[in-house]
Structures are given as structure tokens and as C-alpha cells.
Amino acid sequence: MKPGMNPDAVEAIVQRLLALRRAGDLTDADVVLHAKALDVSRRTLYRWLAKGTSIPTAPPRVELTGDECAAFFEASGNAALAHRLLGADGDQRFSVRTYQRAIRRSLSPSERAYARTGERARRSKIVREKLVYPRRNMVWQLDHVELPIEVFPPRGAGTVRPSLTPCLDCHSRLVAGFVIQLTPTAADVLTALRHAVLPDERYGPAHGIPDVLVWDNGREFLAEAVTQVAVRLGCAVRPTRAYTPHLKGIVERFNRTIQQEFVSRLPGYTDGRRDAAGRLYSSAELTYVEFCQLSYDWIEEYNLRRPHSALDGKTPAEVWLSDPTPIREAPLGSAQTLTKPRSTDRL
């Protein structure tokens, strides 16, 4: 059909041709002439005449039966195989494309993922409601993550992969405290908490005592000493259940950000490009101490100067400072009971 042609005018022509056909006066020459005028094929115009209108109509929707849905699960999420199994007896009521569309309508993304690979895939497709943290120091999230980079340790041969323990304020996304270590322990959790509770302008304005601390079921976080320190400070502790990373999604997202924007640009990045033999193009060059210093510089940049897309382009420090919520200050003596300073805490 010619661009800009009025659909009502097209429909009027089709209805006039139908009247001619009913009177027995419609010829093939009439169809060819009008098809050329409408800029459609003769076959299209004949189809409109057979249907009785040029107005497009939606195809009838197929509603699947219980057996037709069950076949999709029996075929491990392969719709084409399920369609063949259903038509094995020679009685098939729809095409494979129609069956695929009906499956997408009848089953949720999580159900289709479960049919293909099981429970973990189902959980990954569940739509989670976004958690809102309206004020600073309402909830802090902590985590341990082994970073994909190889560095040279202070002592010993070979290379090692350092780990990061960040503590993030969920309202401002600001890294309130962190520790980089080679072997994560409960003492590192306490050190990260001490850094977060006590003010240190070098790494951002966040400090004070949060209402709630959220971490996973890692043994470092579940240590009795960590829980006791949190309780003495007046923090509620909320360990997350297994396979629920969305419950600490803010710190999980930060872990991906530091790997994508910082670690991936350093020599020794283990997820980088490799040659045909599988060897990394960029081998380890940094020492552990050098990597720590670069990490501290990047986190300072993240807190104070990097605009954050989830904060409407503001920096975490700007969001923190714009919140008038009073801060529960930690008495210096109580805060120092978290842990003694370690030689690798700050450089």
C-alpha cells in the first residue's frame, strides 16, 4: 500500500470491488488495475477480497492445555522438540511458531528458565522489587570478594589474588570502610567496620553507627566476635539467606563496578585477553602494596568525584552530605574495640 494512503479509502475500494464480485462483474483486469493503484500485489488484494476487508485482524490466540505445557518441561525447555512430541500421533493443531508464542504467553520467564536448566536459573529470572533506603546510615552492606587480578605478595614466590571487604551505605552508595587482604578473616570484617564507623575525610564523609548491618553467610561474617561487636555498637545484624544475592545487591553491584572499571585496566587481570595457548597477554607486574595504594586511590575517586548513575549523576559523597539525618557517633573507645589497626589497613 502506498505510504500516506488513507486506510479508510483503501477499505472503501475493497468494499466496492466486493460489490462488483457479488454482482458478477469483477474481472481479473479490475484486480490488477486496483492493486497497482494501491501499490500492493494482486495476491494481497485477492486475499483482502477473500477475507472481506483490508483491515488487519489478529490471529486467534492459542491457549495451551496442561499436557501441552507439560511437554515443554519434558523436553527441557526445547519448544521445537516439545512440538514434535505433541505431534507424534499425527494430530497437531498448530505450527511450531504458534506453539513457541503460546509458550511465551503461558509461562513466565522464570518458569521457562526452570524448564531449561533448573532452580538456579528460575531464581535468576525472578523480578525483584527494588529496595529503597531513604536515609543515610539506615542499612550498611558488607561482602567479601576475591578480585580477578594476580599480584606479588610481600613474601613468598608466585602470585596471589587479593580480596576486598567493602562496607557500603545503601542510601548514598558511599564506601564507608574497606579492607584489602590476601586471606579474608573475621578480623578483616572488624577492620572494615572500624574504618566505616570512625570518620576519615581522606576516603569520604561517611561515618557513624548504622541501624542495620547486612552480610551473607560467609564464615568470616558469622564469627561470634563480629556479631558481638555489632551488638555492642547498637547495630541490628541481618545475615542473608543462601542464594539471595539481591538482598545485598548494592554491595554486589559495587563489586562488579570495581572489577569492570578499575581491576580490568591493570596488568595481571585474570579475566583479560589471552593468546592461542591460553596465556594472558598482560602478566602480573604489581606488588600487593602497589595494588593496595591504587585501590585506595580509586575508591577515593569513586566516593568523592565519580558521578553515579543510580544517584541522578551525583557523587556518593554529595548524596551523603545532602541528607540531614542525624549521625549516631561512636565513642572513640568503643569504636577502637572493633579491632587493632593492621599494617595493611591504610598506606
Q: How sure is the predictor about 338, in pLDDT bands with cuts at 50, 70 and 90?
A: low
Q: How sure is the predictor about 342, in pLDDT bands with cuts at 50, 70 and 90?
A: very low
pLDDT digits (tens, 9 = 90+) for 251-305: 999 999 999 999 999 999 998 888 888 888 878 889 999 999 999 999 999 999 9
Of 334 and 225, which is predicted with more confidence?
A: 225
SS (H, E, C) 8-61: HHHHHHHHHHHHHHHCCCCCHHHHHHHHHHHCCCHHHHHHHHHHCCCCCCCCCC
Amino acid 329: pLDDT: 87
- Those residues with Cβ within 8 angstroms of residue 345's Cβ, 6 or more apart along the chain or in another chain: 179, 191, 195
Of 202 and 51, which is predicted with more confidence?
A: 51
Amino acid 344: pLDDT: 42
Q: Looking at the predicted structure, is the pLDDT value of residue 343 above 50?
A: no
- Tell me the mean pLDDT in the region 127-133: 75
Q: Phi and psi dihedrals of 43, rounded to 5?
A: -65, -40
* Amino acid symbol at 286: L
Q: Phi and psi dihedrals of 175, rounded to 5?
A: -75, 105
The helix (run of H) or strand (run of E) holding residue 237 is strand 236-239
Amino acid 90: pLDDT: 64
Q: Is the pTM of this model over 0.75?
A: no
Amino acid 112: pLDDT: 92
pLDDT digits (tens, 9 = 90+) for 279-289: 888 788 899 99
Amino acid 77: pLDDT: 92
* Residue environment code for 109-143, b if the CB has 16+ CB neighbours within 10 A, otherwise e: eebbbbbeeeeebbbeeeeeeeeebeebbbbbbbb
The helix (run of H) or strand (run of E) holding residue 258 is helix 249-261
Q: How sure is the predictor about 86, in pLDDT bands with cuts at 50, 70 and 90?
A: confident
pLDDT digits (tens, 9 = 90+) for 142-183: 998 999 999 999 887 789 999 999 999 999 999 999 999 998
What integer best gives the mean pLDDT of the chain?
85
Whether the CB-CB separation of 151 and 268 falls below 8 Å is answered with: yes
Q: Looking at the predicted structure, is the pLDDT value of residue 1 above 60?
A: no
Tell me the three cell numbers of residue 12.
472503501
Q: Looking at the predicted structure, is the pLDDT value of residue 125 above 60?
A: yes
Q: How sure is the predictor about 319, in pLDDT bands with cuts at 50, 70 and 90?
A: very high
Amino acid 346: pLDDT: 37
Q: CA 302 to CA 258: how far, in whole Å?
A: 9
